[in-house]
Amino acid sequence: MAQAMKVHLNSVDELSDAERKQLDDLKKAHSYVAINKPLVTNIYTADPSAHVFGGKIYVYPSHDIETDNSSINDHGDHFAMCDYHVLSIDNETDEVTDHGVALSLDDIKWASKQLWAPDAAHKNGKYYFYFPARDLEGIFRIGVASSDSPAGPFVAEENYIANSFSIDPAVFEDDDGSYYLYFGGLWGGQLQNWHQGQYSLNDHYPDDNQPALPAKMAKLSDDMLSFAEEVKDIVILDELGDAITVADNDRRFFEASWVHKYNGRYYFSYSTGDTHNIAYAIGDSPYGPFTYQGVILNPVLGWTSHHSIVCHQGKWYLFYHDSTLSGGQTHLRCVKRTELVHDGNGKITPINAYE
């Protein structure tokens, strides 16, 4: 089993948010009774993006690894992933296959480190794999790779997608065959470092009563390798039609965008970060705006929460991760699946991961 990450033994007031959560999780991990089992236990996995390709579920997670060269911090330096695996689920037996390494950091010319949460799409017989990584200057960008198989291996493009930045790419295919890429993440995801299209080493946050920093999106080009338009903001509104504010961190966007469509409406779901919810909002366009509706997944063991939603054989599923496999270590996670229910009004029934 993995060795515990280093946590600074400073006073509680001096600890980062991630360190405080880690210490709490390590103490109480044994008391969690998980409802769902990890999809795989041979490796640590996180950030599961699930899709149905050829009538079968494929899951594109990040691959957590043990590391002892950094401490836990709010910038996510302890998430040092360096390759990707692809998982698939057998329709009849629910047996999960790990197809092995699909893409490695060594094969991405423009990237220096940290292969974080990815996603995938299919178009005209080809499969496209979208992933974030730090470029050679340490700035997070989004790359794309392609394959003739949903399980890879994938071959990365020579450079990242022009005008891309931050983390957590998620692809949505609309009914008309259009594809959209959603992305963005605060803190370690560097979204707060981008202002008026320029990257700065200094964080830039609006005042607490101002609209929260938004997720980003753009329509993809026909060849799936670039943006077909300028990057746009995803605005989340409250029940009065006002933008969710910076101080409203129970509802504001932090990272982990996902979009699915149900009964003709667009559901934008995301993580609230330091409040650890998977929340959602509904709109009438892939561009939004989206009106906040509630929580999909209550907080799980571990600092991060990241998910995807997919329909397969008439049922909806939520894929998510937690840190139960490693006994509460926030950087060593495992992906899981549970059924998701839309009620008669289109609302999603909130999910608890533990008994």
Residues designated as active site: 47, 255
Contacts of 13 (CB under 8 A, 6+ apart): none
Question: Over the Cα atoms of the chain, what is R_g?
Answer: 19
Q: What is the DSSP string of 100-137?
A: EEEEEGGG-TTEEE-----EEEEETTEEEEEEEEEETT
Instruction: Quote the longest CA-to-CA distance of the chain.
Output: 56
* Residue 45 to residue 307: CA distance in whole angstroms: 12
Contacts of 52 (CB under 8 A, 6+ apart): 58, 310, 311, 312
Contacts of 72 (CB under 8 A, 6+ apart): 5, 6, 7, 16, 18, 19, 22, 78, 330, 331
Torsions phi, psi for 86 (to 5 deg): -120, 135
C-beta of residue 355 within 8 angstroms of C-beta of residue 33: yes
Express the helix, strand and coil content of the chain in percent, nearest 5 each.
Answer: 10, 40, 50
Torsions phi, psi for 274 (to 5 deg): -70, -5
Handedness of CA 220, 221, 226, 232 (dihedral sign): negative
